[in-house]
Amino acid sequence: MNGGAPAARRQTPDQRAALEARAWRGIRALVLDRYDRRKEVCDSLDMSFIRVKALRYLAEEPLTMRELAARLSTDAPYTTLVVGDLERRGLVARSAHPTDRRSKIVTATPDGVAAARRAEDILNEPPEPVLQLDSADIAALDRIVARLLGSGD
Amino acid sequence: MNGGAPAARRQTPDQRAALEARAWRGIRALVLDRYDRRKEVCDSLDMSFIRVKALRYLAEEPLTMRELAARLSTDAPYTTLVVGDLERRGLVARSAHPTDRRSKIVTATPDGVAAARRAEDILNEPPEPVLQLDSADIAALDRIVARLLGSGD
DNA sequence: CCCATTAGTTGTACGAGTGAAACATTTTCA
DNA sequence: TGAAAATGTTTCACTCGTACAACTAATGGG
């Protein structure tokens, strides 16, 4: 017995399922119920969240309208509207696609990059309880989260 | 040295901050980008997410309109609309308040409880990567998440 | 008792976001 | 070349959710 399992208290399948469910439920509660900062970001940048999302994608790399629409999982017409608004604010700029003249490339301006950065700072700031974890726990959490992200990618 | 700190590699303040930021960012990405099941729930129950939320609260315990409005962080008029819709579907029922005749108590019907349960099952089902964690990691994750939830409560 | 307050409802107005139709321009491919 | 498809835009209709005003009924304090 105790085959290839790593060092840990033995778990029955039921116990294990309970741990999985409780842990995931807790994670969801943390992100969605306790420390959802989306509203704060929208207030801070004075724009709807889909615009913030668009700006964050565009600050990372220029995208065509089509690509942006796909990432926002919305349709082309609404993307036109959102980009038009961001452009009017001077946060993004449309330019011609080098090889396909149907396409347009949307790029974040320096102001746009700065705004996206402000949004990221608010969204990614760890909440209080994370700051209060001890060194071992924060290291373990980081490692496990990386594993969760990695296996799905 | 190695004063009272629990067993773990030593971290400089900068390293620690980086761990905190990366871990929290990853957690947000998991919940919001990769495994957001809200749409799935809305499709499955054929109702908007605020109605699902209302139903889940009411399945837990009966609430007055006012209390429900507070939990949904919406206003009284919209709560009337949402509860009216749930009532028309036979998922909740309004009844008189025992002592305050202005108030109404909203209770989930058996059908409502069942629907809320279906929603919970979808929302709380741990995503693939969580299922693939080894015993030690899932136990550690559960413990740390509990700590994160506990210190903020 | 009278008046301010509270609970719930009705109605209206508005912004955000989704979806579809129609269109011009450009590209691709048979 | 000519038809089909892709890109982006404009317009319209619709749902969802928020916000506000006005109203009824009931409560509670002076």
B100–chain A nearest CA distance, Å: 31
Among the residue ranges B17-21, B91-95, B148-152, the one predicted with the least confidence is B148-152
Which residues in chain B have their CB less than 8 angstroms from residue A19's CB?
138-139, 141-142
Domains of chain B: 38-123 (1.10.10.10)
B150 touches strand C (CB under 7 A): no
The candidate with the shortest Cα–Cα distance to A120, out of A72, A77, A65, A60, is: A60
Q: Which residues of A touch B21 (CB under 8 A)?
A: 124-126
pLDDT mean by block of 10 residues, chain A; 153 residues: 51 90 95 92 95 97 97 96 97 95 96 96 94 95 95 56
pLDDT tens track for B105-153: 999 999 999 999 999 999 999 999 999 999 999 999 999 999 999 865 5
